[in-house]
A and B are shown apart, each in its own frame.
Chain A
Amino acid sequence: MSAPADPILAVEHLSMRFGGLVAVDDLSFAAQRGHITALIGPNGAGKTTVFNCITGFYHPSVGMVRLTHADGTTYLLERLLDFRIAKLARVARTFQNIRLFAGMTVLENLLVAQHNPLMKASGFTVLGLLGLPVYGHAEAAAIDKAKYWLDRVGVLRRADDPAGDLPYGEQRRVEIARAMCTDPVLLCLDEPAAGLNVRESAELNELLLRMRAEHNTSILLIEHDMSVVMGISDRVVVLDYGVKIFDGTPADVRNDAKVIAAYLGVEDEEVEQAEAEVGL
């Protein structure tokens, strides 16, 4: 498939080594602005490592991760510290094992996500400490925004409950709402459908599609649930052992021999043939 015309994210020759282990090997792909791009692959293929490189939790051994805002500003993510990627480049992420602030309420979780604008409104705490109305207005606006997103993901009625008390599916959705409260241009979701039942993952599909349509959020997605991947993604990138083996539309990925081999294995005679080729 040809390179996207207006890429929001371009990953070029990305490699990540942990000692002798090459988790990601010379990976290049691009994500189109306003599209949902899925990153799939068998367990241990290096998908989450790619995510951690993009969001700054790892520093890639080799390669470049370039993010371009709609106004043309470019950020080289591999050079930014993790919190700056969220703050300046506006890349938000969720985690494979949910990382909500369990002891804080759902609403507080979403307010923490708006830390940077609120911090500015509170005059870096000084004005807020004095109780000036500037901060009061900013906080009211932040609460409205939090309410909006909680309503969108359908957990508004649990806003005052501690996040750790919510059922698993709702925690997943709160994490997405929390990420959206940072006004991201690129949202990275690490297995958002893990642990959801069929109905919940259908709702998730609908939510992601609406987010893309109404807020023009570009989404990068790691997922094992094929109903999500095939149902909503515009483009699929398949990784196996850290190497990209496919890059194309969801329709094509079903029929790709390499992808099928990576997921399901190959026929016995093919193994024999391959072994003969390398002289085993």
Chain B
Amino acid sequence: MSQALETPARPAIDLLGALKSGALAAVVAFGLFSLLIGVRTDQGPTGALEIEPRLVALGVICAVAFVGGFARACLAGESLDLAGYIPERIKTAAGHVGRYFGLALLAFAVIEPIAFYHNRYILDLGILVLTYVMLGWGLNIVVGLAGLLDLGYVAFYAVGAYSYALLAQNFGWSFWICLPIAGFLAACWGVMLGFPVLRLRGDYLAIVTLAFGEIIRLVLLNWQSVTGGPNGISGIARPSFFGLPFTDDENGFAATFGLEYSPTHRVVFLYYLILVLALLTNWVTLRLRRLPIGRAWEALREDEIACRSLGINTTTTKLTAFAMGAMFGGIAGSFFATRQGFISPESFTFSESALVLAIVVLGGMGSQLGVAVAAFAMLGAFELFREFSQYRMLVFGIAMVLIMIWRPRGLVATRTPSVFLGKPKEVPAEIVAEARQ
């Protein structure tokens, strides 16, 4: 018994095994890349197709795989958990930094339009990031809190965008009236999606929601008379500053406030608009988490049967989660429509759903700060790699794989309980339900 309690000695590095594993990796790489990289087809001088072998490139890839496999096997005995090497003092300091990190991020978001007033590119990027932060926070209610995997979230984004565009064009209603209506209509669609999928969980739910997203897109694409089909809707009314349009005339925003007209005013206004909408989403979510409905969502994620044994109506609980998430998606959609001035079904493809879901998963399901950081990192990285557009998806994929290896539960993996008797402490990720599934 006492022997078992002793710390096991670290096994010596098994050189032969490591070589073997390196060789195996090289063989696999050879198999994978022999045709992809090893040969290249080209047009010969006579116009015939010629095969040009690229043995050097193939060799480099195999060598890299060998080194990778070898290194991995050498390190297998070592703990890759770097957390153990960090002294306790630095860890607590990091905890303090983490607490203020959200505030710092918020402060940065507030001053960004002032700091980068003359940099239109940064402003536009900021608006884009904030739109995805809002979408991420909205989806976080459905996926992170209630634990219902939704692959068709973009459908609600589309419903919101088209609601605003159609209402504004056909009835001439202003943005501020259309915004809540769009949110409400999207919430109705959320409930509509919710009903048929009440009994489903996990993979099955994901498939149905995926199909739902496609249905909405296809309806928008084919219902020519209403949605304009593939041509979309253009000339959507731009938002005004509570009635003052951003135009270069006497009734415009600039003239009223005695400023020199600049098109940047509108961009800055849009920036603050989406910032406020996103913060509203965040505030409502944080608030709901502390209310019985929010706790019921989390309880539903943890154990549905126990919920029912405690008298919780799981049907309405699930539907409210869908409706809430959809509502924020719809509001973000109206913002998107007013910002772009043009929408078409092309903006609402599955890849948008996948991107928002990736943001939520990467951020750490259920964590508001994590989602914001993930949206920032993901879209920021997309922009950074814009010049190497053909490697963009490759780098994106590798980054996702690496993050899932190192932080499998997302950037912020702990769960903050909603109520305490004593001192607040975090719940480690391993015991939260979605991590166990």
Contact = CB atoms under 8 A, between A and B. Distances in A.
Given A82-B309, A107-B419, A160-B420, A115 B292 contact: yes
Interface stretch (A19-27, A96-104, A198-206): A96-104
Contact of B314 (A83, A129, A139): A83
A279 B417 CA distance: 67
A189 B216 CA distance: 47
B1 interface: no
Contact of B431 (A82, A103, A129): A103
A194 interface: no
Interface in B357-396: none
Contacts of A216: none
B274 interface: no
Interface in B378-437: 415, 417-425, 427-428, 431-433, 435-436
A112 B425 CA distance: 19
Interface residues of B, number: 41
A129 B291 contact: yes
Nearest to B432: A103
A243 interface: no
Interface string B296-329: 1011011101111111111000001000000000
A15 interface: no
Given A101-B306, A103-B427, A125-B288, A108 B293 contact: no
Nearest to B295: A112
Given A113-B310, A116-B311, A103 B419 contact: no
A93 B308 CA distance: 10
B415 A99 contact: no
Interface in B178-229: none
B419 A115 contact: no
Given A103-B415, A104-B417, A164-B431, A129 B309 contact: no
Given A129-B287, A143-B421, A115 B309 contact: no
Contact of B421 (A55, A125, A159, A182): A159
B308 A86 contact: yes
B97 interface: no
B293 A119 contact: yes
Interface string A125-149: 1001101000100010001000100
A102 B430 CA distance: 10
A103 B433 contact: yes
B284 interface: yes
Nearest to A87: B311
Interface in A165-183: 165, 178-179, 182
Question: Which of A83, A92, A95, A165 neighbours the largest number of chain B CB atoms within 10 Å of its CB?
Answer: A83
Contact of A82 (B287, B295, B308, B435): B308
Contact of A107 (B312, B421, B425, B435): B421
A2 to B, nearest CB: 32
A158 to B, nearest CB: 10
Contacts of A93: 309
A143 B310 contact: no
Contact of B296 (A102, A103, A115): A115
- Across chains A and B, which 5 residue pairs bring their CB atoms closest together, nearest first? A86-B311, A103-B432, A87-B311, A164-B431, A101-B302
22 contacts: A56-B308, A83-B308, A86-B309, A99-B305, A101-B306, A103-B431, A103-B432, A104-B302, A104-B427, A107-B417, A108-B418, A111-B292, A112-B292, A112-B296, A112-B310, A115-B310, A125-B291, A125-B292, A128-B287, A147-B421, A179-B310, A182-B310
Interface of B: 284, 287-288, 291-293, 295-296, 298-299, 301-303, 305-314, 320, 415, 417-425, 427-428, 431-433, 435-436
Given A83-B310, A129-B284, A129-B287, 14 more contacts: A84-B311, A99-B306, A103-B302, A104-B298, A104-B417, A104-B427, A112-B296, A115-B295, A115-B296, A118-B292, A122-B291, A125-B288, A162-B417, A162-B431
